Amino acid sequence: MSAQPRSIRTCHEPEPAGLRYQHVRDASLALCDTLAPEDTVAQSMPDASPAKWHLAHTTWFFEQFLLAHFDPGYRRFHDGWDYLFNSYYQSVGPMHARPQRGLLTRPTLDEVVAYRAYVDGAMRDLLRQRGDDPDLLARLELGLNHEQQHQELLLTDILHLFASNPLQPAFRDAPSCAPSESVPLRFIEGRVGIVEIGHAGDGFAYDNESPRHRALLHAHAIANRCVTNAEFREFIDDGGYRNPVLWLSEGWDTVQREGWSHPLYWDDALETAFSLAGRQAIDLAAPVCHVSFFEADAFARWAGARLPTEFEWEAQARALPVAGNFAGSGALRPLPARVGKVPVLQVFGDVWEWTASPYVGYPGYQPAAGALGEYNGKFMNGQWVLRGGSCATPDGHVRASYRNFFHPAARWQFSGLRLAKDVSA
């Protein structure tokens, strides 16, 4: 393949490609250290996947898009596994139905771990032989970022699975957090006029972050921190879930159909929430989490504000360091904002922030040719953009231009919100 796929951008790595590859791959297995084999098989809902499937699918990605592509002599670990572990790449071939991934008791977890070791060995050989090939390195970086996405999904899916268990087991112990006061909420005026939006530079980015283009920002202000559990509790106590005036039509229909009355994982007494560390008292100063776009939008309307557009968010984030409460902190839950050196807090980490922007292509966007073009572009329909990363996002994975996206009713991700409002001229 002579041309580099448009969905991939090369990255100047601070460590050799082989070491970075193994570091990311080892991190996926480390996430499963506290899981029993039975934990890795179950699937709690169609949108979630078993941990074993995540481990296998990310391995299939390297096998399919790197080893089979660059090594004509490569022999697949098991021919029948393409069907099991292909996710949505229709141009590659058929795949097992997503809602039935939890039925795959075979291959066993041990066999999947052996599959990972086999592919890792072949990848080490490939990188030794062709480690200076820019096309290979570009695909490698895409594969590693893809695996990091699945590391976060593995955590969110395990959380949903364990919350569905009457015993409500803990995934992992997490350090306790002393009660704290919330940072006072205030609004910071945002940039006005034409701004540059989208990825710029030589570092890795997904194709949906490009092309870089101009966007017009009207006078607005953005909150200095995310909405807290205490503030969302006020919305609940004020009848927010019972007032149809606050909701988009589809959101109100969803509330009625699903019987929502509080964020996912909260108990009905509004005192505790289930977390990766088990059921814990709700930290009122921490960002509200596991809310849908519908809930975020309704809260913003109740608060006399709105959600920021992704362009307002990015224009604010570009001036800030990419630092925050990511998975590497070990907290595995959103933490209260702390006064810092920057005026806008919690931009990165803690919770993915819903924006008011639908997930569509930027002006001039073109997906890559071939199967890798299915990575992002085909999902630009009926979904909304989230920004910033979460407490389950691997460190170093996100940037100011990073665009996450989910359907508006999705709640099982670490999703929260930040307020914005228009400013009169």
In the chain the domains, ranked by start, together with CATH numbers, are 17-163 (1.20.120), 187-422 (3.90.1580.10)
* DSSP, residue by residue, 113-165: HHHHHHHHHHHHHHHHHHTT-HHHHHHHHHHHHHHHHHHHHHHHHHHHHHHTS
Give tens-digit pLDDT for 257-297. Answer: 999 999 999 999 999 999 999 999 999 999 999 999 999 99
Share of the chain above pLDDT 90, in %: 89
Give tens-digit pLDDT for 114-123. Answer: 999 999 999 9
Give tens-digit pLDDT for 371-419. Answer: 888 888 899 999 999 999 999 999 999 999 999 999 999 999 999 999 9
Average pLDDT (110-129) is: 97
pLDDT over threshold 80, residue 1: no
What's the residue count for the chain? Answer: 425
CA–CA separation, 1 vs 133, rounded Å? 11
The CA R_g of the chain, rounded to the nearest whole Å, is 22
Q: What is the mean pLDDT of the chain?
A: 94
Specify the pTM: 0.94
Q: Cβ neighbours of residue 334 under 8 Å, at least 6 residues apart?
A: 226, 286, 287, 289, 325, 350, 351, 390, 391, 414, 416
The residue type of 83 is Y
pLDDT, residue 64, reads: 97
Among residues 388, 383, 361, 389, the alpha carbon closest in space to that of 373 is found at 361
Instruction: Label residue 145 by pLDDT band (50, 70, 90).
Output: very high
CA–CA separation, 155 vs 25, rounded Å? 15
